[in-house]
Copies of this chain bind each other. A is one copy, B any other.
Amino acid sequence: MVTIKDVARLAGVSISTVSRVLNNNSHPVNSETKERILSAIEELGFYPNAIARGLQANKTKTIGLILPDIGNPYYPGIVRGVEDVAHELGYTLILCNADRSRERTQEYVRVLRENRVEGIIFTGGGIAQDAQQGNFSEKDAVATVVIGKHWSNLPSVQVDNVKAAREACEHLLSFGHRQIATVTGPESSTTARDRLEGYRQGLATLGLTEHPEWIILGDFEVDSGYRAVAQLPRLGREGITAIFAQNDLMAIGVINALQQRGMKVPDDVAVVGFDDIPLASFVTPKLSTVAIPVYELGMTAMKVLAKLLVGQETESVTILETKLELREST
């Protein structure tokens, strides 16, 4: 490996001087010597060792991103958002797929801390708690930003799930639907609970009574949407005419199941999803859904983290706006 020492030798100066031109330090360096050093660097193909730098400066210019699974279509957008601003700010991104496993999460947190990342961005419900537990003693915690709702007092970037879900239901109501079913996420998910609350609030606006048998427990995966349809009482006229699936994957399952039973979407049953994953505009009929600004979520989280890192004050909660994308399924 070619080091600063080699450069110094070739240029006939001390390593201090090389370091100075490397970081164009305020300490003056004769322009002629600078030239010599620069061409020595060029000739040797030298590039500085970030590890050594990191050790000395105690700064690594690296951050970690922990998420459940990059394979889930919800996350790539977030990752891209984070990475884009990280890159712009000169930060390098370490990616961790924790699969919502407490164990894997804690393991990753440890690895990230060992690698002295300057900050961590978490996403994927519930995870944040695990991360805090034990791993972070209050004093030496790594700067952390969470995407999504969570109980801790870490700064977070989120979306108003209850409001968005309410709006989705109100939209359905405004189309005359009165018997609206919903497929939820897992009970453990704050997100799922919020969306359910929004659904309830939506019905409440019109003073409609709630039917427990219209609320089907799902798990945010396609299959659970598909199966949910079978658990619903009468569908179509004289029955349920609209289904609010609490994420797009389940909405797609719902649509498939509906079509398989010969029902027309949206004529017999309207369907609205949540997330606006890329898939949503490609299914037939195109899915009406609540769009979450994933890219912006990622960008914003990284911006907040960056503020934290330079010691600036940051908003403790940032809410980004969702948008109801009306397409063909309603």
B94 near A94 (CB under 8 angstroms)? Answer: yes
Give A260 Cβ to nearest chain B Cβ, in Å.
12
Range of interface residues on A (Cβ < 8 Å): 35 or more
Binds B, one of A50-58, A121-129, A166-174, A304-312: A50-58
A62 and B54 alpha carbons, distance in the complex (Å) = 15
B58 near A69 (CB under 8 angstroms)? Answer: no
Tell me which residues from 243 to 282 in chain A have a Cβ below 8 Å from any Cβ of chain B: 252, 259, 278-279, 282
Tell me which residues from 29 to 59 in chain A have a Cβ below 8 Å from any Cβ of chain B: 45, 47-52, 54-55, 58
Q: CB of A71 within 8 A of chain B?
A: yes
Tell me which residues from 72 to 94 in chain A have a Cβ below 8 Å from any Cβ of chain B: 73, 75-77, 79-80, 83-84, 87, 92-94
A322 and B115 alpha carbons, distance in the complex (Å) = 38
Q: Residues of B contacting A49 with CB < 8 Å? A: 55, 114, 116
Q: CB of A313 within 8 A of chain B?
A: no
Q: Residues of B contacting A209 with CB < 8 Å? A: none
A113 near B73 (CB under 8 angstroms)? Answer: no
Q: Residues of B contacting A60 with CB < 8 Å? A: 51
Chain B CB count within 10 A is highest, among A47, A48, A84, for: A47
Q: Residues of B contacting A111 with CB < 8 Å? A: 92
Q: CB of A20 within 8 A of chain B?
A: no
Q: Residues of B contacting A94 with CB < 8 Å? A: 92-95
Q: CB of A208 within 8 A of chain B?
A: no
Q: A79 contacts which of B62, B95, B252, B278 (Cβ < 8 Å)? A: B95
Q: Residues of B contacting A71 with CB < 8 Å? A: 76-77, 80
A104 and B216 alpha carbons, distance in the complex (Å) = 47
Closest to A45 in B: B137
A282 near B95 (CB under 8 angstroms)? Answer: no
Q: CB of A283 within 8 A of chain B?
A: yes
Q: CB of A1 within 8 A of chain B?
A: yes
A80 and B71 alpha carbons, distance in the complex (Å) = 7
A114 and B4 alpha carbons, distance in the complex (Å) = 13
Listed by A's residue number, 14 A-B pairs whose Cβ atoms lie within 8 Å are: A1-B58, A45-B137, A47-B113, A49-B55, A49-B116, A51-B51, A51-B116, A71-B76, A71-B77, A73-B73, A73-B278, A76-B76, A93-B95, A279-B282
Interface residues, chain A, CB within 8 Å of chain B? 1-2, 45, 47-52, 54-55, 58, 60, 62, 69-71, 73, 75-77, 79-80, 83-84, 87, 92-97, 110-111, 113-116, 137, 140, 252, 259, 278-279, 282-284
